[in-house]
Amino acid sequence: MKIRLVENGETGAYRPVDSFSYARLSEIGSLDEVLAFVSRSRAANPEARFLCTLDDLNQCCYTSMHAAGNDRIEWPAESVDFDDPRAVHAFEVARLEHVVARLDDARYRTTWEAVAGTLRPSPADIAALVATNRDASAVLDDVVYVQRLPVSRDDLLLAGLPNGYFSSDWDVFQNHAVIRRMEELHGYRFFGIGASWLGFVADAPPNAQGAARLIEDLTGLYGHAGDASDAWRELESLARRSPTLLLCYTEDFA
């Protein structure tokens, strides 16, 4: 895997996500390589947390730009001199702090119960969910950016690349509800987001009871407990063997 550290304000052949971009990863062999790099980065930078881009980098950035324009989290940019890297970084710091505050504000938060059943996946979508978790590295684009973010909790990493733009998808606050649930009830930390997928990692795979509780939650979230029962059983088995979990937040993910 090639690792290229990013300098704030750099221009050239590559375009970082924003001024929080810390590293550009390419020629990636596996998701495990990415997670190992993140683990080393966390150890070397204890004051920060790290967020990875996942599937379809360009689309992820595009929809995040629009999601950030939602009235609940938008931060005004009219007076920013975008030719000045220091001004851009100051704007992005203020915007991050604003979104973090909104994610932690009970007036804007969404509950897990309110999110369950809001997507309309088909049995084929559930099969795709299982296939992606079977080959977790397939969720990565050719290039992954690792964002270094000054946030106090892993769930707040979402503020660094808020996503959920289209009306048929989960929005930023619905994604945050899912992220909180996965950590608070199941021990999965949020580590990445793409155009369609959320990435989670635990310290260790769940035991049999923990995996069963996870699948019970996910069938409530996505549905098809009966007509996709074989797929859910396979996902339960996969969960017991791997510390990573990938969940889709958009429609038609088959």
Lowest mean per-residue pLDDT among 10-19, 114-123, 176-185: 10-19
Mean pLDDT of 24-33: 98
List Cβ neighbours of 79 (8 Å cut-off, separation of 6 or more).
none
Q: Are 144 and 34 in contact (CB under 8 A)?
A: yes
Residue type at position 231:
A
The answer to whether residue 252 scores a pLDDT higher than 90 is no
The answer to whether residue 21 scores a pLDDT higher than 70 is yes
Mean pLDDT of 5-31: 88
Mean pLDDT of 156-180: 97
The confidence score (pLDDT) of residue 12 equals 64
The confidence score (pLDDT) of residue 226 equals 75
Mean pLDDT of 103-131: 96
Burial class (CB within 10 angstroms; exposed 0-12, middle 13-18, buried 19+) of 41: middle
> What angle is formed at CA 247 by the lines to CA 75 and CA 46, rounded to 5 degrees?
60
- Give the tens place of pLDDT for each residue, 55-84: 999 999 999 999 999 999 999 887 899 899
Mean pLDDT of 119-142: 96
Q: How confident is the model at residue 9 (pLDDT cuts 50, 70, 90)?
A: low
- Give the tens place of pLDDT for each residue, 199-247: 999 999 999 999 999 999 999 999 887 777 899 999 999 999 999 999 9
The answer to whether residue 10 scores a pLDDT higher than 80 is no
Q: Are 21 and 6 in contact (CB under 8 A)?
A: yes
* Average pLDDT in the chain: 95
The confidence score (pLDDT) of residue 44 equals 97
Position with higher pLDDT, 229 vs 101: 101
Q: How far apart are CA 24 and CA 139, in angstroms?
A: 16
The answer to whether residue 163 scores a pLDDT higher than 90 is yes
